[in-house]
Chains A and B, each alone.
Chain A
Amino acid sequence: MSRRVVQLVVAGAALAIVGAALPQTAATAAVGTNCSIKNQLAASNCQAVVMATVSKVANLNPMKARAVTDYQVAYPMQGLLWRFDANLIPRMDLLIKQDVSKDGLTIYQQLKPNLKYSDGTPLLAQDVVTAWQKQVEAKQSSAFFAKVSNVVATSPTTVTWTLKTPMPDFNWLMANQAMYLNPTESLKSATYWNAPVSAGPMMIKSWTPGSDTMVQVANPNYWAKPKVQQITYQAIPDAATRKLALQAGQVDYVFDLAYQGVTDLDKNTIKWFAHALPGTYQLTTNMAKTTSPLYNVKNRQAISAAIDRAKVAKVGFFGTVLPSCAQTFIKGNPYHQCVLPNEGKQDLVLAKKLLAEAGNPSGFSFETIVWARPAWPEAAQLIAQDLAKVGITMNITVKQDTVAIADLNSGNFEMQFSGNNAPTPYLQLANWFGTGGAWQNWSKVNDPGLIAAIDRLGSASNPITAKAALKTANIAAYNSSVHIPIADRAVISGTRLPAGLLVATTPGEWLYVATTPLLSAQRGPTGFNTGAKS
């Protein structure tokens, strides 16, 4: 027996050594090694690229999507009437024409002719109606559709939307994940989302639910030709490993790098950048906790006044974001106006005054859940230090996104430090405060006056009234202070690819894939809207 044990040990060791010496294959085979950030013309060499994601794909069904990766991989392989380009401007995608009635209450859409999904199934106008119905039935993103009274397929290629009031941000909504198009009949299958077909630029080549890797290839039935022929999404949960994989050239694009150490990356081969996102870092209150000191608006406003937003932006987020001075984001939005007292600057005197008015002159304590994203816990810690100056104790618990979201769902939180974004201020405020908005559901805020102000913003008929309505809505939002804005949002990414080939927009939730012809060459929005880039 002794000899057998020794043989087994030696054989095991030998196998380990042989295995280690084998040429590296699977991990590196698909990397776009001919790509270069220095050579724009080299984009044609980037036929197959690898993107590192923060988690594996949990579910492709947008109704059950839980993590950012689910949204990321879905966007390129879902059909949309309008699609965001690299600059987050909605462009006509599967539409050839869209007309709006003079009163702005009816929108006529005509699909491109002979549209087909990746499996050859015709894409019909009824599929648009189905997408809307699914959202309304599931009560998901229903605040986004608050202005829609009905949708009808008037022919296999035409759709008519009837609105309750005009909606300048309509095209932004159409480019949102709430409007993914799928075959009406196929959706009846319980297993459809294990292998969904695509009407977008990419389609699934290989993916097993629960696996770490998904491979997408260019969809031959899409009207434009993606410049990237294959994208391999590889889950690498650890941020440090994602960075090493990018440095080693084993992946081409990394989403959500840690802030620390990004400046060490080789500038000749890797470009790192902070996505400027149309969104806000915010503290969200659970208004269902009626015995919490946070239920008192004066206490919430005291918190808002005590925070040194400039320091949080500069130190906590390494200067990649701007401090907030309103409920909605700042960057690139021409309608933005500061409405927070003292332009959102730290005002400890005001904070103490508000605390005294609330009957808590020596402060109070509360629990806050912070999402475990790069720099978020550190930023929350800075806020806690600020609050301590006026006697408020903010106890922090850091949780993974999915756990924090589960706590939001179950109402098991007093306050959460998080981030939220939307392509337009109207859509963001509707999501935060409008009936049926995700964050309204979680915070349980119910402020009819605020909802009315947001509704007026969504129906503003010209830039002047829009600006006034946005100011009114922002003031009403501050008066509520259920969501306390901290700063704009940003996510750090790194790439070895030429600029614009693959871009994760709005913190990576919507992945843009460059095509020929370019999406940006298609018709964009007309008239005005409250969008960030308008």
Chain B
Amino acid sequence: MTATPIGSGVESAVRAQEGEDGPRPQPTWEKVLRRTGRAIIVAFWVMVVAFMLIRLSPGDPVSAALGADAAPDTVAAARKALGLDVDPLTQFWNYLTGLFRGDLGASLISGVPVTEMLRTNMPVTLWLIFTSVTMTLVISLPLAMFIAMARIPGLPYLFRTLTAIGLALPSFLVALILLYQFGLIWQVAPIFGYDPTFPANLQYLWLPSLVNCVVLVPVLSRVLYSSILDTLEEEFVETGVVRGVRWNRFYWLYVLRPSLAPTVVLLSYMMGVMVGSTVILEIIFALPGIGRELVTAVTMRDYPVVQGIILVFGILVVFLSLIGDIVASLLDPRVRLT
């Protein structure tokens, strides 16, 4: 890499990166509040969709759940429990006020309140996502950085080939292979189950998280790798070289940080997707997560549970996306929060 003349615009960008003079461009509170407001509106529509779901589903949900031959008083009791015995406007009002009281109804099958199911099962899914993302970052960041910076002939092709293979492998197959190897052959991971206490839960989570990494690492590391290559073309990077910035400062401020924004946005999106897609791992590893609960509820036509979980999933995805956007704008001044 050779030094090139530095223009005043580049110096300004470097200063902005390093925060050496003047306030660094950051998302204003006004913009954050505006973006949050939009997220709340989207969350409201998620809530409306969740409400409509049970009402617009084909056939009568009570008959579907209890059977056509259920006794009339049993059907009437179930309709009352679901709040279906009043007009739609009153139903929506009751639904809204119930939400603010933290009342999402109760399972038609087990009678367990939906909030209780969320309290018990949601942390498992969130923990699985958290450990998956942590492991993904730990693997992806140095991997992408190394591939991009090492300039070893042929290495990028090998990297692309291996990540393409990783992306092509179905999760359930990877899960079974890893479970067989780590759980049965090497016996370093439990085959099934979960302990809700921390850090004991990590011994049940690391293997399913590793399975998630097989898909997440290729995606993130490839995006990050491309992003780093783009960043390396920027003039301020050459400036850093010319100025003889310390290596750790150079890699973080000049290369990695400006390259992270698309990765963070992608990560927030993938975390949203993972909220639903972890169900396969929850079934194979017998983890009592909320995704498995949703599938069970759908198969059992347990509408209050389906409605409650979809509502929480939707709101979670909306706010994960919001957080991703805010963090991306914090990391890279070129990203604007609109």
Interface residues in chain A, defined as those with a beta carbon under 8 Å from any beta carbon in chain B: 1-2, 9-10, 12-13, 15-22, 24-28, 52, 55-56, 58-59, 64, 66, 138-139, 191, 194, 208-212, 234-238, 240-241, 244-245, 247-248, 250, 400, 402-403, 406, 408-412, 441
B266 at the interface (CB under 8 A from A): no
Q: A20-B206, A406-B65 are in contact. Are A58 and B193 (CB under 8 A)?
A: no
Interface residues in chain B, defined as those with a beta carbon under 8 Å from any beta carbon in chain A: 59, 63-71, 107, 109-112, 116-117, 120, 130-131, 134-135, 137-138, 141, 176, 179-180, 183-184, 187-195, 199-207, 209, 252-253, 257, 283-286, 288, 292-293, 296, 299-301, 330
A-B contact list, 29 entries, CB within 8 Å: A2-B257, A9-B141, A12-B131, A12-B135, A19-B199, A22-B200, A24-B190, A24-B203, A27-B190, A28-B190, A58-B110, A58-B300, A59-B109, A194-B111, A209-B110, A210-B112, A234-B193, A236-B192, A237-B292, A240-B284, A241-B286, A244-B179, A244-B180, A248-B183, A400-B299, A406-B300, A406-B301, A409-B68, A409-B70
Instruction: Please state if A241 and B206 are interface contacts (CB–CB under 8 Å).
Output: no
The 5 closest A-B pairs by CB, nearest first: A19-B202, A409-B67, A12-B134, A27-B193, A27-B190
* Docked CA distance A54–B217 (Å): 32
Instruction: Please state if A235 and B286 are interface contacts (CB–CB under 8 Å).
Output: yes
Instruction: Please state if A244 and B184 are interface contacts (CB–CB under 8 Å).
Output: yes
* Docked CA distance A16–B137 (Å): 13
Instruction: Please state if A22 and B286 are interface contacts (CB–CB under 8 Å).
Output: no
A236 partner residues in chain B, CB cutoff 8 A: 192, 286
B141 partner residues in chain A, CB cutoff 8 A: 9
A441 partner residues in chain B, CB cutoff 8 A: 69
Instruction: Please state if B120 and A210 are interface contacts (CB–CB under 8 Å).
Output: yes
Instruction: Please state if B284 and A18 are interface contacts (CB–CB under 8 Å).
Output: no
B111 partner residues in chain A, CB cutoff 8 A: 59, 191, 194, 209
A10-B138, A20-B202 known; 9 new pairs, CB 8 Å cut-off, are: A19-B199, A19-B201, A20-B207, A64-B109, A138-B71, A208-B120, A209-B110, A400-B299, A409-B70
A263 to chain B, nearest CB (A): 17
Q: A25-B195, A138-B71 are in contact. Are A241 and B65 (CB under 8 A)?
A: no
Instruction: Please state if A402 and B299 are interface contacts (CB–CB under 8 Å).
Output: yes
Instruction: Please state if B202 and A55 are interface contacts (CB–CB under 8 Å).
Output: no
B126 to chain A, nearest CB (A): 13
Pick the contact of B67: A22, A247, A410 (CB < 8 A): A410
A13 partner residues in chain B, CB cutoff 8 A: 134-135, 138
A20 partner residues in chain B, CB cutoff 8 A: 188-189, 202-203, 206-207
A134 to chain B, nearest CB (A): 12
Pick the contact of B131: A2, A16, A27 (CB < 8 A): A16
* Docked CA distance A238–B180 (Å): 14
B72 to chain A, nearest CB (A): 12
* Docked CA distance A79–B117 (Å): 30
* Docked CA distance A16–B66 (Å): 44
B112 partner residues in chain A, CB cutoff 8 A: 209-210
A211 partner residues in chain B, CB cutoff 8 A: 120, 288
Instruction: Please state if B180 and A410 are interface contacts (CB–CB under 8 Å).
Output: no
A191 partner residues in chain B, CB cutoff 8 A: 111
With most chain B CB atoms within 10 A of its CB, the pick from A16, A22, A212 is A16
Instruction: Please state if A55 and B288 are interface contacts (CB–CB under 8 Å).
Output: no
Q: A209-B110, A209-B111 are in contact. Are A22 and B179 (CB under 8 A)?
A: no
Instruction: Please state if A210 and B116 are interface contacts (CB–CB under 8 Å).
Output: yes
Nearest-CB residue, chain A, relative to B107: A210
Nearest-CB residue, chain A, relative to B287: A212
A479 to chain B, nearest CB (A): 26
Q: A403-B299, A441-B69 are in contact. Are A250 and B190 (CB under 8 A)?
A: yes
B252 partner residues in chain A, CB cutoff 8 A: 2
A244 to chain B, nearest CB (A): 5
Instruction: Please state if A248 and B184 are interface contacts (CB–CB under 8 Å).
Output: yes
Instruction: Please state if A237 and B189 are interface contacts (CB–CB under 8 Å).
Output: no
B58 to chain A, nearest CB (A): 10
B192 partner residues in chain A, CB cutoff 8 A: 27, 52, 234, 236, 241, 245, 250
Nearest-CB residue, chain B, relative to A9: B137
B187 partner residues in chain A, CB cutoff 8 A: 248
* Docked CA distance A19–B195 (Å): 11
* Docked CA distance A12–B204 (Å): 15
B131 to chain A, nearest CB (A): 5
A235 partner residues in chain B, CB cutoff 8 A: 286
Nearest-CB residue, chain A, relative to B200: A22
B205 partner residues in chain A, CB cutoff 8 A: 16, 19
Q: A237-B283, A238-B283, A241-B286 are in contact. Are A18 and B199 (CB under 8 A)?
A: yes
With most chain B CB atoms within 10 A of its CB, the pick from A26, A138, A191, A250 is A26
* Docked CA distance A59–B284 (Å): 23
Instruction: Please state if B117 and A210 are interface contacts (CB–CB under 8 Å).
Output: yes
Nearest-CB residue, chain A, relative to B58: A412
B195 to chain A, nearest CB (A): 5
Instruction: Please state if A402 and B300 are interface contacts (CB–CB under 8 Å).
Output: yes
B19 to chain A, nearest CB (A): 10
Instruction: Please state if B200 and A411 are interface contacts (CB–CB under 8 Å).
Output: no
* Docked CA distance A408–B69 (Å): 10
Pick the contact of A19: B179, B206, B301 (CB < 8 A): B206
Instruction: Please state if A19 and B203 are interface contacts (CB–CB under 8 Å).
Output: yes
Nearest-CB residue, chain A, relative to B285: A241
Nearest-CB residue, chain A, relative to B282: A237
Pick the contact of B63: A10, A12, A238, A410 (CB < 8 A): A410
Nearest-CB residue, chain A, relative to B130: A12
B123 to chain A, nearest CB (A): 14
Instruction: Please state if A25 and B300 are interface contacts (CB–CB under 8 Å).
Output: no
* Docked CA distance A380–B65 (Å): 26
* Docked CA distance A17–B210 (Å): 12
* Docked CA distance A400–B116 (Å): 25
Instruction: Please state if B64 and A406 are interface contacts (CB–CB under 8 Å).
Output: yes
With most chain B CB atoms within 10 A of its CB, the pick from A18, A22, A248, A408 is A248
Pick the contact of A248: B70, B135, B191, B206 (CB < 8 A): B191
* Docked CA distance A158–B113 (Å): 41
A10 partner residues in chain B, CB cutoff 8 A: 138
B138 partner residues in chain A, CB cutoff 8 A: 9-10, 12-13
Instruction: Please state if A19 and B67 are interface contacts (CB–CB under 8 Å).
Output: no
* Docked CA distance A64–B77 (Å): 14
* Docked CA distance A114–B191 (Å): 45
B232 to chain A, nearest CB (A): 19
B85 to chain A, nearest CB (A): 18
B277 to chain A, nearest CB (A): 16
A402 partner residues in chain B, CB cutoff 8 A: 299-301
B67 partner residues in chain A, CB cutoff 8 A: 406, 408-410
B258 to chain A, nearest CB (A): 12
Instruction: Please state if B109 and A66 are interface contacts (CB–CB under 8 Å).
Output: yes
B284 to chain A, nearest CB (A): 5
A241 partner residues in chain B, CB cutoff 8 A: 179, 191-192, 284-286
Instruction: Please state if B206 and A234 are interface contacts (CB–CB under 8 Å).
Output: no
* Docked CA distance A55–B184 (Å): 22
Pick the contact of B183: A64, A139, A244 (CB < 8 A): A244
Instruction: Please state if A411 and B68 are interface contacts (CB–CB under 8 Å).
Output: yes
Pick the contact of A27: B69, B134, B191, B300 (CB < 8 A): B191
Instruction: Please state if B202 and A18 are interface contacts (CB–CB under 8 Å).
Output: yes
B288 partner residues in chain A, CB cutoff 8 A: 211-212
A145 to chain B, nearest CB (A): 17
A59 partner residues in chain B, CB cutoff 8 A: 109-111
Instruction: Please state if A19 and B286 are interface contacts (CB–CB under 8 Å).
Output: no
Instruction: Please state if A247 and B109 are interface contacts (CB–CB under 8 Å).
Output: no
With most chain B CB atoms within 10 A of its CB, the pick from A26, A210, A238 is A210
A248 partner residues in chain B, CB cutoff 8 A: 183-184, 187, 191
B299 partner residues in chain A, CB cutoff 8 A: 400, 402-403
A237 partner residues in chain B, CB cutoff 8 A: 283, 286, 292
B220 to chain A, nearest CB (A): 13
Pick the contact of A16: B134, B176, B180, B300 (CB < 8 A): B134
